Structure 1
């Protein structure tokens, strides 16, 4: 997604993070985003790097959006879900170029939601939306703060609705959450944001 091809409108990108219980949560979210989302989706799901991952195939069967493992040096494409591969951090530049790194673990995990969210905040500022779903630990909380401080929008799954409330609660505890919603309402809310003011 080069600068010339960035989506018009108030938002340019959506980033999602999940961990324990996250596969089902991602399925529920992506299935409701519809086939014509006008922005890219970048996703971090904590996965066991010792096993070959089939997450992209699993998610692709449950959503109308194309789903693929992110590739180093490719551009994020509107209407496409780019999943961080196991054991690689996923970052994005302001021109939409994706970068994968194998730098040190963050909060004992790689890929890290914090690093993804921080790169999204730096690259897109107020045109970014990030979403923290079910999971254990605190990954995503620091990144959510970065997005908030850059004027982006932070959506968090209601901890009472999450299979594992740790990650959502940690994000809420930072004070960065703009909206706390049950999982079933998040996709429609995101669509409302990214489609606002589009011609």
Structure 2
């Protein structure tokens, strides 16, 4: 059973309001695979390429990348990352179902969340001030996928992810942070570690192995409980 949402839920829910209408949303089974939210900003592209290189054995998972991007420019993240993985790499669209072996990239200038097994896009209300799009994704990821939600924080400045990862832990998910000594920019990793709610601090090359181990644990738990 999932725990109650934390007291700061309103903060997450009040950020983006204007929804971007795109594709229709089919119903999905949310309980059979890991959904990994990845947060990064400065230095995150190289870290994410290296992460993809460590995921050769990570079959059957879905990945959602929130990379802080310039909202005034088109993103080249899909093209830059697709060459480093056999997974399907796509830019997220509203209503797009979350599928295993897919890697979803946030579009510039949007907030990204999940709901009933599908991606949802929203426009931030404020044009200026602090934006925490990864915190927002993590909150919805935790409440939708519970123990199958995973947070991975890579290189970046600022604190985005440090609030949302607590929601992941409260809903029995997994939190992994890139070793700040390795990260090009250590702000996001160190801020996450300071919460005391991080399960693993690892070099990027070891993160894929940790995900596979956790996935196997989840599969074993399903088998023990009698779930198909």
Q: TM-score, normalised by structure 1?
A: 0.90
Tell me the SS of whatever aligns to 1:141.
coil
1:35·1:65 contact (CA, 8 Å) conserved in 2? no
**Equivalent-residue separation in structure 2 for 1:195 and 1:176 (angstroms):** 22
Distance 1:107 1:186, change over 3 A: farther
Could you tell me which runs of 5 or more consecutive residues in structure 1 were left unpaired when the two chains were aligned: none
| Matched length | 194
Q: Confirm or deny: 8 A CA contact 1:46 1:109 kept in the other structure.
A: no
Q: Is the 8 A contact 2:42 2:155 kept in 1?
A: yes
Deviating more after overlay: 58-67 vs 31-40: 31-40
* Structure 2 alignment gaps of length 5 or more: 1-25, 224-228
In 2, Cα distance between the equivalents of 1:172 and 1:150? 18
> Are the equivalent residues in 1 in contact too, given 2:58–2:212 (CA < 8 A)?
no
Structure 1 residue 109 displacement after superposition: 3.2
Aligned to 2:163: 142
Larger C-alpha radius of gyration, 1 or 2? 2
Large movers: runs of 4+ above 6 Å: none
Q: Give the drift of 1:62.
A: 1.3
Contact 1:107 1:139 in 2 (8 A): no
Contact persistence 1:35–1:64 (CA under 8 A): no
Over the aligned positions, Cα root-mean-square deviation in angstroms equals 2.0
Which shows bigger deviation, 129-138 or 182-191?
Answer: 182-191
Residue among 159, 177, 195 paired with 2:198: 177
TM-score normalized with structure 2 length: 0.79
